[in-house]
Structure 1
Amino acid sequence: MGNHESKTEWRPSASKNPRKIYDESTHKLNDWGSLERFIYIGSESSYNAHDKHPNRKNAECIDRLISDGKGVEVVQHLSDISRYGGTLRQNNLIFALAICARSNNEETKNEAYKELSAICRIPTHFFLFVNYCKQESLQSGSTGWGRAHRRAMIKWYEEKAKHPVGLARLLTKYKSRRMQTTNKIGETWSHSKIMQKAHPKFEDDFMKVVQQYLLYGFKGAQRLASSRKMTTESISKFLTYIEGTEKAKGCTDKEALVALIKEYDLEREHIPTQMVKCPMVSKAIMSNMKAEAKVRNISLMSSKGLCNEGSECEKEIIAILSNEKALHDERVHPIRILIALLSYKKGENKKTRWKKGKVNTLKWNVNQNICQALNAAFYQSFITVQSSEKRFLIAISCSEDMDKPCNGCPVINCKQAAAAMMMLTTRTEKHCKVVGFSDGLTKIIIDKNDLLEDVTEKISTLKGSETDVSIPLRWALEKKKKFDVFIVYSDNIKTEGNQAIEALAEYQKEVPDAKLIVVAMLASDNIIADKGNPFILNIVGFNKKAAVLIQEFATSEI
């Protein structure tokens, strides 16, 4: 039962948007540009590390495109982005698809439902789509469960049914999810709930068994298949996998459970909570994880005592972290590894989890061998980032507040984040100049062999003041220096943003497509308010996704 069809749902690859995203006469984003920004960062001007849910007002460009008769093109573009992995937050993409699906334009609606299975590959995304559709329908006073919607729900299951074991895995791993929206109102969606609302009448025997399982459980599906002598290969594969998960659910013998995990390729969600605490069982679960997932779960595995010195788990983690090809193939970003390292070195997870009114905190013994492997992997993973061949000016304003934790990722402080990002750019780009600035500019020499500690120490000597983002731009203009991308790192932006907007506009007379990225790692709101400017990007707070965004914005049109 080991490998089955939907284990790896998709692989991202490079894609470009062929449409012009801004008006050349006004230098403002057009509706296609606003759509691109919404899908990628959630708004026209800023990426906020805190915001998780899309804001309907920021998606009004979709309404305008649909009104202009471009709704089908919008859906096709959403599908392309999904296929090529071009979005930081899947929520925004699925929200856009839901708007199209609830549109009054029949062609747009039909196209949205047609692409549903391709975009919402796993049940979590499917449930999110259903939730957003309901949210959209409530605004118009509709229930949202008309014939077209019900037919689309049924179609999603039929598409997944092409791979019986894959479908069984999806239905058992993602049984239900509680979805929340911007107004913090949550609703739990499950396969059984959707099946009840869609109330399909299947003609295919296999889909009848699937429906029976979702509504009445494994025994109900078994009885139906047996009483009607449904013996197709698809039904047999489906029920065999379901039976394996049922056995695991009630298994209390750790050796028998490990055997089930290996036989059916079971995952964490299939295992009883009390049995996950068993080191032997946890090890079997972790062995099925991919490289990036194991890096992400080092602290969890360590808290269960699996990663002590000399353990098999320790050897496996070190082997993965030392595997340059695995890091490259799975695109493990350096900032992700740095966050894993800093989190692991703390020896406990400060993120609290509430259960029955109590706070649970994960604790573990720090294994120095794993720390060394993570540290080495951080530097090794720089090879996963491709050069853009752009010319960069990186400017940092360093105040005392830069020692504070980043908003959005408290495990790393602002100074460490800025240093890591500066290292990333200087190591991957041929043309890169680094300066510190307050009232004026100070050159910072970063060698390609500098360690994170070296770079952090160099920027610690800088003097801080109120951050005038226009200073690096005005310096480049005065000195006639040519740069394609300006990146400013700071704790917060305390001065008027219009100076930077005007300075960039002036600089673009020399370098027309020059871009400005402002990263305020302690900020909680928009930094430079120039809505619709395709050449300016605000990043509010900082996290691993912000690190990817900086690179993407510098090298492409988003």
Structure 2
Amino acid sequence: MAEGGSLQPDDETHEIKLQTDRLSYMQVENISGGFVFQVTDMTRLLRFLILGTEGGTYYSGEKELKRESVQCIDRLMIQDRGVEVVKKIVEVSQAGRACKQNCTVYALAVCARSNDQNTKKAAYDALSTVCQIPTDLFAFIKFCEEFSAGTGWGRAHRRAIADWYNNFNEDVTTLAYKVTKFRRRHNWEHKDVIRLAHIYPASESLRLIIRYLVRGLREAKRLQMPADVVELDKWQKVYIYLEAVEKALHCTEESDIVELIQKHGLVREHVPTPLLMSIPVWQALLKNMPMNATIRNLGKMGSLHMIEEGSEEEKIIVDRLQNKAALKKSKIHPFKILVAMKIYSKGMSEKGSLTWPRNDNVVKALEEAYYMCFDNVEPTNKKYCLAVDVSGSMDTPMMGIESMTARDGAAAMMMLTARTESDFEVYAFCHKLDKIQIQKTDTMKKVLNKMSSLSFGSTNCSLPIIQALSDKKKFDVFIVYTDSETHFTEIHPSQALQQYRTKTGIKDARMIVVGMASSGFTIADPTDPFMLDIVGFDSNAPEAMRSFVEGQF
């Protein structure tokens, strides 16, 4: 981290030259004629795993994954670093650092299809660690099929997939839950996978699950019950659960499905679609619903008019959202709460035709949860310079979150910095950069009012860096928040950032440009590991920015 305070007078040209010389061996010429740090293939791999792209750009929404997107893996394998690649995939996956899990699964599939036997073995050994739910397993199979044109069910592939099921031998009830909750994804389902993998179950309780998935409960019931007492207990618990799931699948009566939910802990995915229009069913589901699922299903429950003022459901939801310990345990990011609040307050879904009457007490509870969830975010302990576009165009809906404007998103992200970091300054783009005083205790409304009170001008992304040099201030991170209008005048941001690094000695000074309503701009130099573009904005973007600031990729 850079030391705080002002720069010393910059009259020691010789010292600056020495600093530049010491760093030049690590640098290459960039698109603007300046020299920047070279991005290594391992950094490119981390960018792909965390951002979904090798370049310095995070795209909101889903983008099609293509084989050419991970050429860095091929180059690393040529250097005999394939096993190291797999270790990095596992590390990112286990730490929950990937914005989109599909990217880690895709990279693992690339390694599994490698011609290098050590890399292939490491990838298949890591399958159960990276793919912890059937959705990810099915995605892995899909990607492997794409790479092998449908001819990829060799011995190693079959054994790894069989091991995925058999690894649940000590926790068969969890397997029963997962395979019945996620029955099919990516045009694959368990019975097809099991047949192709030639699975030999490691225990009789696992055999029961496998037989059920392939042939149904009636055939599974014909299996001989195990003689071992411990195994018999596991077998009976699995059978009772599968029987409940099967009853739920064919249920037509509200009272029957409610009883099954209450007795066996069934979840929404176990409920037949017609019964998801039932208030009693959702009332039963709500009682033990996790925090994230509660927030995700507010609109659906509201559309059934079950969250009425003074109702038991209102009390459950409000109490849950105001439970600080539960919010902390859920590790939910405050930005996700804010997005949920904006969508719920609007009374209609962003996609589809679902509508609902808003409950003001729920809205208030969401707002309180938003502020409480700032405690879920660990500080990076960096010194920030935040520059925000305050023009009228910031009222444009954010790309990826239509219920929020670019102004809302910028305000929320500045609040995040103010409430979690101790060292930051905020500026607005006007005819020059004007400082905004954002306090730790400011509410969302107060921050928006401060932004709205300023005049505006162009968004020159180099200006915050130029201004910092002029004012002789040291920052570790520059972040520009705008809608989609980004430009530079006589100096490109990458050049300005390089000058700043040279003159301040902060060799890893970073810059993030966030185009919240943009669909295709790029300012970051792809050869500079310390520049990042955010194109559009979604609830995963704040975590991508944090990972970047902390130097994780």
TM superposition score normalised by structure 1: 0.88
- Which deviates more, 57-66 or 249-258? 249-258
Query: Is the 8 Å Cα contact of residues 71 and 107 (structure 1) preserved in structure 2?
Result: yes
Query: Is the 8 Å Cα contact of residues 462 and 488 (structure 2) preserved in structure 1?
Result: no
Q: Does 1:516 align with 2:506?
A: no
In 2 relative to 1, CA 23–374 (structure 1 residues): closer, same or farther, beyond 3 Å?
farther
State how far apart, in whole Å, the 2-side matches of 1:164 and 1:478 are: 64
Partner of 1:490: 482
Aligned residues: 517
Mapping of 1:209-288 within 5 angstroms?
A: 209-225=208-224, 232-288=232-288
What secondary structure, in the 3-state scheme, does the structure 2 residue paired with 1:544 have? Answer: coil
Partner of 1:553: 548
In 2 relative to 1, CA 457–245 (structure 1 residues): closer, same or farther, beyond 3 Å?
same
Partner of 1:69: 80
Q: Which of 522, 533, 538 is residue 538 of structure 1 equivalent to? A: 533
Q: Which of 27, 31, 39 is residue 29 of structure 1 equivalent to? A: 39
Partner of 1:385: 377
Structure 1 counterpart of 2:97, one-letter code: G
Query: For each residue in 1:149-177, what CA deviation from the matched residue of structure 2 results, as whole angstroms up to 9, or x when unmatched?
Result: 11111111111233121111111111101
Query: For each residue in 1:269-306, what CA deviation from the matched residue of structure 2 results, as whole angstroms up to 9, or x when unmatched?
Result: 11111222211111111222212221222122211222
Query: Is the 8 Å Cα contact of residues 426 and 438 (structure 2) preserved in structure 1?
Result: yes
Q: Which of 101, 113, 121 is residue 132 of structure 2 equivalent to? A: 121
Query: Is the 8 Å Cα contact of residues 154 and 200 (structure 1) preserved in structure 2?
Result: yes
What secondary structure, in the 3-state scheme, does the structure 1 residue paired with 2:199 have? Answer: coil
State how far apart, in whole Å, the 2-side matches of 1:276 and 1:120 are: 29
What secondary structure, in the 3-state scheme, does the structure 1 residue paired with 2:148 have? Answer: helix
- Which deviates more, 394-403 or 475-484? 394-403
Query: Is the 8 Å Cα contact of residues 399 and 491 (structure 1) preserved in structure 2?
Result: no
In 2 relative to 1, CA 340–29 (structure 1 residues): closer, same or farther, beyond 3 Å?
same
Mapping of 1:16-415 within 5 angstroms?
A: 24-26=26-28, 27-43=37-53, 44-138=55-149, 143-177=151-185, 179=186, 188-202=187-201, 204-225=203-224, 232-352=232-352, 361-415=353-407
Structure 1 counterpart of 2:211, one-letter code: Q
Structure 2 counterpart of 1:148, one-letter code: A
Partner of 1:15: none
Query: Is the 8 Å Cα contact of residues 345 and 371 (structure 1) preserved in structure 2?
Result: yes
In 2 relative to 1, CA 112–421 (structure 1 residues): closer, same or farther, beyond 3 Å?
same
In 2 relative to 1, CA 455–246 (structure 1 residues): closer, same or farther, beyond 3 Å?
same
Partner of 1:358: none
State how far apart, in whole Å, the 2-side matches of 1:516 and 1:368 are: 39
Query: For each residue in 1:24-48, what CA deviation from the matched residue of structure 2 results, as whole angstroms up to 9, or x when unmatched?
Result: 4441210110111110001221000
Query: For each residue in 1:180-206, what CA deviation from the matched residue of structure 2 results, as whole angstroms up to 9, or x when unmatched?
Result: xxxxxxxx1000111222233557544
State how far apart, in whole Å, the 2-side matches of 1:229 and 1:429 are: 58
Query: Is the 8 Å Cα contact of residues 31 and 65 (structure 1) preserved in structure 2?
Result: yes
Query: Is the 8 Å Cα contact of residues 97 and 547 (structure 2) preserved in structure 1?
Result: no
CA drift of 1:228 comes to 11
State how far apart, in whole Å, the 1-side matches of 2:426 and 2:202 are: 66
Query: Is the 8 Å Cα contact of residues 467 and 492 (structure 1) preserved in structure 2?
Result: no
State how far apart, in whole Å, the 1-side matches of 2:181 and 2:61 are: 28
Structure 1 counterpart of 2:394, one-letter code: M
Q: Which structure 2 segments of 5+ residues have no match?
A: 1-23, 29-36
State how far apart, in whole Å, the 1-side matches of 2:410 and 2:68 are: 32
Partner of 2:20: none
Query: Is the 8 Å Cα contact of residues 192 and 215 (structure 1) preserved in structure 2?
Result: yes
State how far apart, in whole Å, the 2-side matches of 1:453 and 1:313 are: 28
Query: For each residue in 1:67-87, what CA deviation from the matched residue of structure 2 results, as whole angstroms up to 9, or x when unmatched?
Result: 111111111121122222111
State how far apart, in whole Å, the 2-side matches of 1:202 and 1:172 are: 18
Query: Is the 8 Å Cα contact of residues 509 and 530 (structure 2) preserved in structure 1?
Result: yes
What secondary structure, in the 3-state scheme, does the structure 2 residue paired with 1:236 have? Answer: helix
Query: For each residue in 1:431-487, what CA deviation from the matched residue of structure 2 results, as whole angstroms up to 9, or x when unmatched?
Result: 111001244211111222222122112212334444210000001011111111101
In 2 relative to 1, CA 70–377 (structure 1 residues): closer, same or farther, beyond 3 Å?
same
Ranges of 4+ aligned residues in structure 1 off by more than 6 Å: 226-231
Query: Is the 8 Å Cα contact of residues 473 and 504 (structure 1) preserved in structure 2?
Result: yes
Partner of 1:8: none
Structure 1 counterpart of 2:373, one-letter code: S
CA drift of 1:253 comes to 3.0
Partner of 2:494: 501
Query: How many percent of aligned residue pairs carry the same amino acid?
Result: 38
Query: Is the 8 Å Cα contact of residues 169 and 202 (structure 2) preserved in structure 1?
Result: no
In 2 relative to 1, CA 92–517 (structure 1 residues): closer, same or farther, beyond 3 Å?
same
Structure 2 counterpart of 1:286, one-letter code: L
State how far apart, in whole Å, the 2-side matches of 1:110 and 1:483 are: 45
- Which deviates more, 198-207 or 469-478? 198-207
CA drift of 1:249 comes to 1.9
Larger relative contact order (CA 8 Å, sep ≥ 6): 2
What secondary structure, in the 3-state scheme, does the structure 1 residue paired with 2:224 have? Answer: helix
Query: Is the 8 Å Cα contact of residues 225 and 235 (structure 2) preserved in structure 1?
Result: no
State how far apart, in whole Å, the 1-side matches of 2:478 and 2:200 are: 59
CA drift of 1:532 comes to 2.7
Q: Which structure 1 segments of 5+ residues have no match?
A: 1-21, 180-187, 353-360
State how far apart, in whole Å, the 2-side matches of 1:439 and 1:203 are: 71
In 2 relative to 1, CA 382–272 (structure 1 residues): closer, same or farther, beyond 3 Å?
same
Structure 2 counterpart of 1:150, one-letter code: R
Query: For each residue in 1:79-121, what CA deviation from the matched residue of structure 2 results, as whole angstroms up to 9, or x when unmatched?
Result: 1222221111101100000000000011111111111011100
State how far apart, in whole Å, the 2-side matches of 1:104 and 1:370 are: 55
State how far apart, in whole Å, the 2-side matches of 1:385 and 1:227 are: 49
Query: Is the 8 Å Cα contact of residues 23 and 29 (structure 1) preserved in structure 2?
Result: no
What secondary structure, in the 3-state scheme, does the structure 2 residue paired with 1:519 have? Answer: strand
In 2 relative to 1, CA 201–431 (structure 1 residues): closer, same or farther, beyond 3 Å?
closer
Query: Is the 8 Å Cα contact of residues 407 and 524 (structure 1) preserved in structure 2?
Result: yes
What secondary structure, in the 3-state scheme, does the structure 2 residue paired with 1:517 have? Answer: strand
